[in-house]
Every structure is written in C-alpha cells, then in structure tokens.
Amino acid sequence: MSATQKTSWTKRLGPRSIGAVYVLIALVVVFSVMSPSNFANYGTAKLVFNQYAVTGLVGLALLLPLSSGIYDLSVGSTAGLSGIAAAWVLANVSANPLAGVAAGIVVAVLAGLINSAVVLGLGIDSFIGTLATGSIFIAIATAVSGDNTIATNVNGAFQQDVALKNILGVTLPVFVTIVAAILLYIGLEKSGFGRRTYAIGFDVEVARLSGVRVNGIRAAGLLASATLAGIAGVLATAQIGAGSPATGPSFLLPAFAAAFLGATQFKGGRFNAWGTIVAVLLLGTGNVGLLVVGGPSWSPDVFDGVILIAAVGLTSAKGIGPLRIRSLRRQSPSAPNLVAPAGTGQSSEAEEKSAQTLA
C-alpha cells in the first residue's frame, strides 16, 4: 500500500471522519461495564433497533430539504397527522391494515404539497413556513382525534402486520428504515439529482444561474420529506397500538440531532444517509443505556439536546457549515455547469463562486 493510500485510509478512519462511530463504541463499552447483565446482550441491541427505527426514518426524511438548504420543521407534526389519519380510517372506515397505511401516506403527500406551496409558492422562509404548517397539521390531528388516542382496530391486525412482524426479533420498521437509507444514498450520492441538490444547498444563486431547477428540486425534497415522515407516523402508530396527536412532535428534536450529527460523518459536512443511521444508533444506545444503568427518566432528553448542540457545533467548526460540494465536475460529467449563462451580466461573479465551489 502506497503512502498516499495509507494517508487516505487514515483520514477516512480518523475521528474527524467517523468520530460518532468511536463514541458509539465507547458508550457500548461503558454501559456494558456498568451493567453487564442488563446491557451487554442481544435483547438490548434489538431494543435499540426496534425502538429507534422510526426516529431514524424521520431523520432520513430531513436529508433532502436540508441538503438543498431549507428546513422542514413540520416533519414531527406530519408524522403525527399521518398516524392519526391511519388510526381514524381504521376505526371509522375499514379495519384493513392496508387502508390505514394508505390513508397515512396520502395525508403525508398532501402535507408535502402544502409545504411546497407555502415555502416555494408564497416565498415564505422555510424555517417560519414549515413551523407554521406544522402547527396547523398538529391542530388538525388534535381536532380529528378529539384530543384523544384512537385505539379501535389499531391494536389488532394493523399492529401485528405493520409493527410486530419480525426476523430474529428485528421488526418491520427497521427494514423500512434501511430501505429508505439505501434509496437516499443512491439518490444523493449516485445521481445527478443528488449532486444538484447539494449544489443548491451550497450556493443557491450559482445553481440557479447555471440552469438548475431550484424550486423543482426543493419541492421534490419537501414532498419526499413529508412522505417519509408520514410513513414514520404510521409505523409509530402501529408500534404503540393507538393513534395520538402527541406522538409525532416528539420525534423532531432527535431527528434533527441525528441529521446534523450524521452530516459530520463520512462526508465531511454533507448530510448523508449512513451518517444519519450511525447518529441514530448513537442516540438510541445512549438513551437506552442511560435508562438501563438507572439514569433518571429525563436523562434521554438531555442526551438528545447535548448531541444536537455538539452536532451543530461540529459542522460549524469546519468553517463551511453543514453542506459541502466536492469536485462535482470531476465526479461526473452530468454534474451541473455552475457558470452563469451568457448574457446575464453576472458570469464573472458566478465563475468565481463556481471555482470555489468545485475546488
């Protein structure tokens, strides 16, 4: 192995690239020493996988909007609304599990279209716009449920088929999350769509000047975000065996913590699927471990908050924010030519920015 290859592998395996992996290993060791009989077993691993699969799916839902430079603060509320929609249909229309799943996904798609209309159609800042729509979504969920949980026909075949089917104790939501991660990995890392998404997040004006359909890509991101959040809400409702308007919003903080911490892993500042999965495992291991060793009930919330602060701090410390584009032109000839079209009068500035972006 050449010196260059050794340096490359050293960089890839260094704390600045996969620091969360080392923290995860350290947590496993510490909790195993503190409580070997209760923590160091396959049952704990299954608990982390099964309990945090939905959190992982909500975290993955954030990747496309964040990668394109916008926020979706409505993901938790969308999950809650979709879960209530699924429960309401099961209780009042049909007990068929497929009917509940379909209802939840349809409502999520509608939520994504509303977010796109507010943020892109009306031009409202995504932070404010999705915060507002999220408030509306959770209000609708509360009204539909009468501010009560809906358990009729939810804790029967629906729960069994959607949440409890398992392979070696690992339940269906875990596999749904893995499939979503694979699709997002392909979409962001292996396609022109992904490269354009990252380009928009890095410098929206340069991307727009180069002919990238900024609003179209951002709309697709918001729609995908809402859809994944809706699926997560349906899965959460199935896991609990009841629909509650309070379920969805609880995923917002850990999902953002996972997405931002994930951005510090593997890709050096870019939001990515596998980094998010590692971050969710870190969150889950820390939360479960704290409770197993006798920590107070509020300790997981503190842990999530600390992780989010650390994650945002780490991405900011890189000096480039949470997004970075690396040599798009060298990666693929299909990458966008980030140079202003002739006749705009802005080609010099665009070319300078483009050179910095692609360096």
Residue 228 in any domain: the answer is yes
The SS3 assignment for 2 reads coil
Residue 19 within a domain: yes
User: What confidence tier does 329 reach under pLDDT thresholds 50, 70, 90?
Assistant: very low
Mean pLDDT, the chain, whole residue set: 84
Q: Which of 68-77, 299-308, 316-325 has the lowest mean pLDDT?
A: 316-325
For residue 39, being part of any structural domain is answered with yes
pLDDT at 316: 62
Query: Among 176-190, 288-302, 311-325, where is mean pLDDT lowest?
Result: 311-325
As a whole number of angstroms, the distance between CA 194 and CA 294 comes to 43
Global confidence as pTM:
0.84
110-129: average pLDDT: 95
Domain count, the chain: 1
Range 81-88 average pLDDT: 96
Q: Is residue 209 part of a domain?
A: yes
Q: Give the model confidence (pLDDT) of 211-234 as tens digits.
A: 889 999 999 999 999 999 999 999
CATH of the domain at 264: 1.10.3470
Where residue 85 falls among pLDDT bands split at 50, 70, 90? very high
Question: How large is the angle between the packed helices 214-240 and 42-61, nearest 10 degrees?
Answer: 150
CB 141 within 8 A of CB 80: yes
Q: Which domain holds residue 270?
A: 13-358
Neighbours of 342 (CB within 10 A): 7
| Element at 211 (helix H, strand E) | none
Q: What percent of the chain has pLDDT over 90?
A: 56
Residue 1 resides in a domain: no
> What was the pLDDT predicted at 343?
35
In a domain, 7, yes or no: no
Which pLDDT value is given to residue 210? 86
